[in-house]
Amino acid sequence: MSDPPDKLQRRRDLRQRSTKAEHLLWSALRNRNIADLKFRRQHSIGPWIGDFVCVEALLVIELDGGYHDLIQDEDQHRSAMIEQAGFRVLRFTNEEVLGNLEGVVISIRRFLGLPEEEAPSP
């Protein structure tokens, strides 16, 4: 089942307004850079849109900016609902990605049970 037109447009808008941290993490995830897994940006899971989603690994990676401190309860609820849909949720702050991309990629690899490798250069 495809997304309604308003949700499709929302996903497009989110991709066009990506943060610097989202661009940086996307450079590490795209083109099957991690264990040949395909990640998608701003992908729908039920009524939610995940920042980065790997359907084959059932993984959603969410990046949290400063405003997420104000909506922690909402984020926890959203994560719980995504997990009920069968996905695992991994969260990082924008600061973690901007300050330590290699460490974030290592964390993703560990979470997936993969051996550590050097992060690809953005």
pLDDT values of the chain reduced to their tens digit, one per residue, 122 residues: 567 777 667 667 776 778 999 999 999 999 999 999 999 999 989 888 899 999 999 999 999 886 545 556 777 888 899 999 999 999 999 999 999 999 999 999 999 999 876 545 55
Task: CATH number of the domain at 84, please.
Answer: 3.40.960.10
pLDDT (0 to 100) of residue 68: 46
DSSP state of 72: H
pLDDT (0 to 100) of residue 38: 98
Q: Do the domain assignments include residue 87?
A: yes
pLDDT (0 to 100) of residue 95: 95
pLDDT (0 to 100) of residue 122: 52
pTM of the model: 0.80
Q: Do the domain assignments include residue 77?
A: yes
Range of the domain at 68: 5-111
Q: Do the domain assignments include residue 116?
A: no
| Torsion 32-110-98-41 (CA) sign | positive
Q: Do the domain assignments include residue 121?
A: no
Torsion of CA 84, 59, 37, 104, to 10 degrees: 180
Locus of tokens 């909402």:
74
| Torsion 67-44-56-76 (CA) sign | positive
DSSP state of 17: T
Q: Which two tokens stand for residue 61?
A: 């990676």
pLDDT (0 to 100) of residue 13: 72
Angstrom distance (rounded) from CA 41 to CA 11:
9
User: Domains in the chain: how many in total?
Assistant: 1
Work out the burial of residue 54: count CB atoms within 10 Å of its CB; fewer than 13 is exposed, 13-18 middle, 19 or more buried.
buried
